[in-house]
Chains A and B, each alone.
Chain A
Amino acid sequence: MKITGKVIAAGSAVAVLLSTFTLIGASASVDPKKAFPTKPVTLTMWWWGEQEAPGAQAWVDATVAAYKKKRPNVTIKTVLQTTDGLVPGFAAAAAAKSGPDLQYFWGGIYSQQPGWDGQIAPVSDHIPAAELKHYINATTELSFQGKIWTAPWYVNPSFPVLARTDILSKYNLKVPTTWKDLLKVCDVLSKEGVPTLAGGVKDGWFGGWLYSIIGGQSVTNKDVVAAVVGKQKFTDAKHADWWTRLQETKERKCWNSDINSLELYQAQQLWKDGKAAMTVVAGPDAPNFANAVGASKVVVMAMPKWSTGKFAGKMGSTSQTIGITQWSKNKDVAADFIMFGHEKAQLNSWYKLTGSMPADDRFDLNSVKDPVKKALFKSALPGAPYLENFIPAQLDADAVFANVQLVLAGTKTGKAAAADMQAVMERLRKTDRNLVKNFTAWNK
């Protein structure tokens, strides 16, 4: 017994020491005593988000002004990026090693890749671990080699399906929660000339959303990364079946007929105008959509279930993030601004101005009174991993975006799309010589 007691005591001591070292290690290079610069400092921030969280521009302006009051010697210039220009714009800046100090990144691979390519500095080198632990999804999507690369800004419940009960009830239909029910709704509404689902794939992005909310039902993020590194195949049933489901939606006329010639945001307008029964929107924007047509007429839900997989019927959760560029001369100041954005006043202000959820567990969910928002926020804590964030961006664009367009145009079968996705992945492993190594390390 004595020996056991000693062992337990020793074990506990080791565990405490290890925990302490881990915490110290995570913030090894963060020096809290480091003096804040007093000379004039100018930071440039390239950001995105007004598109999916309207009101973000007002928050950015107000936060920059508030920060100026706190740190009069720091000036922050902000530049809103376009959806199509966000990734290429930063790639060009990174090639020139000149541009923003603070850069917006979508979560997962979009935050990882710049870290792997040496374009950003890990935020965990500049933000203390005690602070970072409050940032939602920081460890799920953004950690690599023991570092956290970008700082979550706001949560994107990904992606809610909005159903209009007024349109469905007009045809004696209920909100479908299973795939079978969804297809039945499609059959009824298509005869009436009403699209069940409004969508637009001309700009590609919606293809990635569909992959995540339909494809994510039968796999986990670990499965997806395994397929990326070659241990599984995208033609395996659990990876490929969603393509067949997508083909079914085309065959059963679930979508608006002009889905291929509309951009996503144009198509969502059909739902707002009462010309479609359901649509898929960005999480932060869902409350705005619901309020636009009357929250009482709207059900916010996950994509109807077709699989018995772990994440079927669950909404994904990802955080949109801010990173600090490798070439920034004022990394600590940039980190200080990020932390300022996570102070209570700014968290509340974000929610007030955008109606979406800040990526910080210190935000008081009890302050949310709107039932739509409350349900949405709770669904994102803890949500399913957002699948699109775990595949290479090139696979997303070359295989997912492109094949979703073709399947929905009716010129490609689901099976052929899965085969093409596998072929693109195999090729990608040859062209990006570090891909397998990086993804394997990320998956550990």
Chain B
Amino acid sequence: MIKTAPSEYRFTAPRKLGAVFGRIRPSGPFLWILPAGLCVLFIFGYSVVDLVQQSFKYQGDWVGFENFLLVLTDPLFRTAITHNFLLLFTVPILTVMSFTCAVLLFETRKGMKFYRSAVFLPYILPIPVIGVVFGQLLQLNGALNSALRAMGFESLALDWLGDPKQALWTMSGIIIWKEVGFGTILILARLISIPLETLEAARIDGAGFFRLHWQVTLPQLRAVILFYIINESIVMVSWVFNYVYVMTNGQGGPGNATVVSELYIYRSAFQNNAPELAATAALLLLLATLVFIIGFFRIQRNMSKGVFDD
């Protein structure tokens, strides 16, 4: 049996415009997106083509895969990629925290607006502000450690950003603090749109708090949580430059403890005058990000099929 999408998912052009473009109706959707498509193609397409070209050249001369070999054998690049990979471990933590916060906010009757704003506030703060504030706060003799020492927790007063063993994990904590607001609001928005009857019915059937949200709410949030996971994975692979740059003065230090692939690209291009190596590393990063994007679309398509099948 051939299954089709419900009528509300099918494209239908407005009648008047449909009459105007009547003869070319099959390609109608493409016409609608053509201006934006051309714009995107020019901005991104040109850059990507240029990036690919540069990665195979050195000062204008064709060098084949030499730049790829140099980048892939660079210990600093491998360190940077490892750090990006380690940052991916924050994604499950972020997801669990966002889901928990969203459910708690959903269940909170009093002061929901205040709590919602409080959770979302870090997300809208500019990263340079966060960098400066945490840079001061987390100094060895900064406010946090002073408070810990005052409370008698001397052993917990660590050099958060100055010790190479701790710096990356401190950075992860700051990223989680900022990004959790986005996940919470995203999940909460979907949570609010779940029909109340569904939740009421589960409650009448005797579902308690945990069972209700684990077995009823969570399955309904599957799509939005998946989107959040993919989005945050992309963030950890290719969007953490700002955090590292502002909190380590563009060094990725101490040593190379917080160097990430974007910082490697930036330093290659703008500090080390090696645009070809920067282009090569950028191309590799783009390919890594594409894996996530393709994965996201495939899962989304499978889920959509499931929805329509149901």
Contacts and interface: CB of A to CB of B under 8 A. Distances in A.
A179 to B, nearest CB: 25
Contacts of A370: none
Given A203-B251, A430-B70, A87 B270 contact: yes
Given A88-B271, A91-B273, A403-B255, A409 B162 contact: yes
A202 B162 contact: yes
Contacts, number: 102
A261 B271 contact: no
B207 to A, nearest CB: 50
Given A261-B138, A262-B139, A431-B277, A406 B255 contact: yes
A261 B160 contact: yes
Interface size class of B (residues with CB under 8 A): 35 or more
A411 B165 contact: yes
A105 interface: no
Contacts of B165: 411
B47 to A, nearest CB: 13
Interface of A: 84, 87-88, 91-92, 95, 113, 117, 201-204, 257-263, 393-394, 397-398, 401-403, 405-406, 409, 411-412, 427, 430-433
Interface in B152-204: 159-165
23 contacts: A88-B271, A91-B270, A95-B269, A202-B162, A202-B253, A204-B251, A257-B141, A260-B162, A261-B140, A261-B141, A261-B161, A394-B271, A397-B251, A397-B267, A401-B251, A402-B251, A405-B164, A406-B255, A409-B159, A409-B254, A412-B255, A430-B70, A433-B59
A405 B275 contact: no
B170 to A, nearest CB: 10
B57 to A, nearest CB: 12
Contact of B274 (A258, A260, A401, A431): A431
Given A88-B266, A201-B253, A202-B249, 11 more contacts: A91-B270, A113-B273, A258-B162, A260-B140, A394-B274, A397-B251, A397-B267, A397-B272, A402-B256, A406-B254, A409-B162
A431 B271 CA distance: 14
Nearest to A401: B251
A259 B159 CA distance: 10
Of A398, A401, A403, A409, which is in contact with the most chain B CB atoms at under 10 Å from its CB?
A409
A110 to B, nearest CB: 11
A269 to B, nearest CB: 12
B58 interface: yes
Interface in B247-269: 248-251, 253-256, 266-267, 269
A84 B165 CA distance: 25
B273 A257 contact: no
Contacts of A261: 138-142, 159-162
A16 B90 CA distance: 74
Contacts of B248: 202
A409 B163 contact: yes
